[in-house]
Structure 1
Amino acid sequence: MPTHVPYGYQSVSPEEKRRRVLGHFETIAQRYDLADLLLSGGLHFWWRRKAMRLLQLQPGESVLDLCGGTADFAVLAARDVGPSGTVVVCDISPAMMIAGRSKARRAGVLERIQWVQGDAERMGLADQCLDAVIVGYGLRNLVSLENGLEEILRVLKPGGQFMAMEFSIPQAAWLRFLYHQYSFRVMPWAGRMITGSAAPFHYLAESIRVFPPPEKIRTLLINLGLERAAIHPLSNGLAVLFSAVKPPVHSL
């Protein structure tokens, strides 16, 4: 583990990044969903549904919503895998999961979801126990991306699916210019009005820009041994989906 890691544009110790990220989510948890809705213009609903269509989860499967927070993916997964399936939310923030439990209750799927407070890089889950792992906006917040992906590989069954959704930099030059203005001027101000704190949104804007570009993430997935690694841009690159499959065990 390196002695310093990126935290937005700053360089901090691994424990300091973990502490700050947790603090941000504990602070904004009760207003997180409203901020997500308003600041994405509702696009995040379409992005999540696109991810679920790509996954094509089947009844009875076991799914992890990692960095699951307020359980958006978990609620969708619980509907897809049905009563015979298993859905687990793992998140470092208790406050985010409390908000997620309320959402799952309103959706009528609370009893189908298990809740685990834990670090994505050190999950307390058994080896090869999951058919799919979904990560929504969580890869940027990992202290070590490689450690987190290796941990995901550990808990996936052979043939299991990996899906991650992350913010990205728009592809079109005109949209990229507007996005930069929005990210650094509008978003922190609006975030403070909605949640009471601008700091998480300053970090969000910076973390998007220091995160490796999509093709580097795809290369990392391939180098870790995942198969069918693919990039799926969303809304002209405002966000991106990464998908891959853990290699199956081939019979001799």
Structure 2
Amino acid sequence: MPGHVPYGYRFVAPVEKRNLVLGHFEAIAQRYDLADTLLSCGLHHLWRRRAMRRLHLRPGDRVLDLCGGTGDFALLAARIVGPAGTVVVCDFSRAMMHVGRGRAKRAGMAERIHWMQGDAEQMGFADHFFDAVIVGYGVRNFVSLENGMREISRVMRPGGKFLAMEFSIPTSPLLRRLYHLYSFHLMPRAGRLITGTDAPFRYLAESIRVFPEPKQFQAHLLDYGFQNAAYEPLSSGLAVLYSAATPQ
């Protein structure tokens, strides 16, 4: 439909997609971290550590954890960049960031991480401010992929590093069949038991399948002006790390 955007398998008005996705995160914020760990069988912790190693952050870097939610990447980044660095979480869900602030306080990182409620496609940051931008499982939720990626490029310094982690479809045919069964039948039921609702998990399963395949998203990054775009499948393709840089 003209002017509409994909929300899972449906097409909706842009503002409706934003509100629906926001509603999902607001509803499950208190149990999001538990659900993430249980439904990924703990693999997301390994994936995040792999992502941080690939990013090659240094003390003093300025890092944006975009769509950062409860701050998983921000906590890892803050330990690397140290007191001289800057770590900012930007997310549109106030409830998710409220949980994240509590986590940061318990980890002794409350003073090192800044939190800003905002839209990834229209951020209130200065041009070329960040040395690195990380997006964990958030690119699928952009209303406009092009607008979101160009906005990310705008806030990155020349030569800055971009990294995104997204769920994907496994490469093995057998694992792919099992994954379809898990994501469409078992995951929504387990998600409802953990969080009280299954709608976010049904959307998750659908949004993974309508997101561009890894080679396509790599090509999009180049189209949007990034350089050295690459991707790395994790755990037989259950997740993918995308990396790129802004031109020097």
State whether TM-score is above 0.5: yes
Cα offset, 1:178, TM superposition: 0.3
| 1:163-174 mapped onto 2 (5 Å cutoff) | 163-174=163-174
Deviations, residues 190-219 of structure 1 (Å, cap 9, x unaligned)? 000000000000000000001110101100
| 1:119-198 mapped onto 2 (5 Å cutoff) | 119-198=119-198
Cα offset, 1:34, TM superposition: 0.2
**Is 2:60 aligned against 1:55?**
no
Give the unaligned 5+ runs of structure 2: none
Deviations, residues 113-171 of structure 1 (Å, cap 9, x unaligned)? 11100000000100000000000000000000110000000000001000000000000
2:16 corresponds to which residue?
16
CA distance in 2, matches of 1:76, 1:107: 11
Paired residue type of 2:127: D
* Matched residue SS, 1:157: strand
Paired residue type of 1:205: A
Deviations, residues 61-94 of structure 1 (Å, cap 9, x unaligned)? 0000000000000000000100000000000000
* Matched residue SS, 1:236: coil
**Is 2:219 aligned against 1:219?**
yes
Paired residue type of 2:148: G
1:110 corresponds to which residue?
110
2:91 corresponds to which residue?
91
Cα offset, 1:225, TM superposition: 1.9
1:41 corresponds to which residue?
41
CA distance in 2, matches of 1:152, 1:105: 28
Cα offset, 1:110, TM superposition: 1.1
Cα offset, 1:228, TM superposition: 1.0
* Matched residue SS, 2:170: coil
**Is 2:230 aligned against 1:207?**
no
Cα offset, 1:106, TM superposition: 1.4
CA distance in 2, matches of 1:205, 1:170: 13
Give the unaligned 5+ runs of structure 1: none
Paired residue type of 1:58: R
Cα offset, 1:108, TM superposition: 1.0
TM-score normalised per structure 1: 0.97
TM-score normalised per structure 2: 0.99
Sequence identity of aligned pairs in percent?
68
Aligned length, in residue pairs: 247
| 1:77-88 mapped onto 2 (5 Å cutoff) | 77-88=77-88
Cα offset, 1:233, TM superposition: 0.4
CA distance in 2, matches of 1:53, 1:188: 32
Paired residue type of 1:22: L
1:241 corresponds to which residue?
241
CA distance in 2, matches of 1:43, 1:232: 15
* Matched residue SS, 1:149: helix
Structure 1 window deviating more from structure 2 (99-108 vs 24-33): it is: 99-108
Q: Segments of 4+ in structure 1 off by > 4 A? A: none
* Matched residue SS, 1:123: coil
2:100 corresponds to which residue?
100
Paired residue type of 2:247: P
CA distance in 1, matches of 2:20, 2:224: 28
The alignment yields a C-alpha RMSD, in angstroms, of: 0.6
Deviations, residues 87-115 of structure 1 (Å, cap 9, x unaligned)? 00000000000011111111111110111
* Matched residue SS, 1:182: helix
